[in-house]
Chains A and B, each alone.
Chain A
Amino acid sequence: GESVGLHLPTLSVQEGDNSIINCAYSNSASDYFIWYKQESGKGPQFIIDIRSNMDKRQGQRVTVLLNKTVKHLSLQIAATQPGDSAVYFCAEAGGSQGNLIFGKGTKLSVKP
């Protein structure tokens, strides 16, 4: 069935380094993608989104890249900080009801 998956379940980086979290999606018809951050005990928090007519979008310290040819999405975090430690989910608007489909998540750990 339709699914969104992540290449790496865990990622450990040094404070100050850049982080890259990758995601593969399967529904080529999906036209909207979002990255969420979830801290322990909290609901997912919106980070950045991108529509399929774009291949790159930048926010504050974050960049999302979309490669529709290979159905790949990535989240880049610049100068990673301890506060960035969380689980990151990619999601695509590819559900049968137009809902977001979420992957299992990547846990990012930032070492001081």
Chain B
Amino acid sequence: GAGVSQSPSNKVTEKGKDVELRCDPISGHTALYWYRQSLGQGLEFLIYFQGNSAPDKSGLPSDRFSAERTGGSVSTLTIQRTQQEDSAVYLCASSPGLLYGYTFGSGTRLTVV
């Protein structure tokens, strides 16, 4: 598509439930990134995919977080047993590669109640 697409745009979930957030990057972009933005804060890096390579998961905040990227395109960020501190906007971005500007999606606003 023309831009980075994220779904859902908003998600309200109960504490302890699992959630899946989806990112569809710009066609042809090999690099895909997930960031988290808490209210009024900057962007916290979570994970990066380059093509089909296995990602470095060290940026994920806990083992409840996982991410995958299928076929070098669509990515899913999964949060298991959600906690209230997981509430944030989750942003996905893609780029043609390293040292290029990212194009961000509009994000998924996650609220854990």
Q: List the interface of chain A (C-beta within 8 A of B).
A: 31-32, 34, 36, 41-46, 49, 51, 89, 91, 93, 95-105
- Could you tell me if B59 and A43 are in contact, using CB atoms closer than 8 angstroms? no
Q: Please measure, in the bound complex, the distance between the C-alpha atom of A89 and the C-alpha atom of B101, giving whole angstroms.
A: 13
Q: Please measure, in the bound complex, the distance between the C-alpha atom of A19 and the C-alpha atom of B32, giving whole angstroms.
A: 32
- Could you tell me if B33 and A99 are in contact, using CB atoms closer than 8 angstroms? yes
* A42: contacting residue among B59, B99, B106, CB under 8 A: B106
Query: Which of the segments B12-20, B37-45, B80-88 contacts the partner chain?
Result: B37-45
What total of A-B pairs shows CB separation below 8 Å?
Answer: 55
Beyond A98-B98, A99-B59, list 14 extra A-B contacts (CB 8 Å). Answer: A31-B99, A32-B99, A34-B101, A41-B106, A43-B104, A44-B102, A49-B101, A89-B42, A96-B56, A97-B45, A99-B45, A100-B102, A104-B41, A105-B42
Q: Which one of B42, B58, B99 has the highest number of Cβ atoms from chain A below 10 Å of its Cβ?
A: B42
- Shortest CB distance B7–A (Å): 13
- Shortest CB distance A67–B (Å): 20
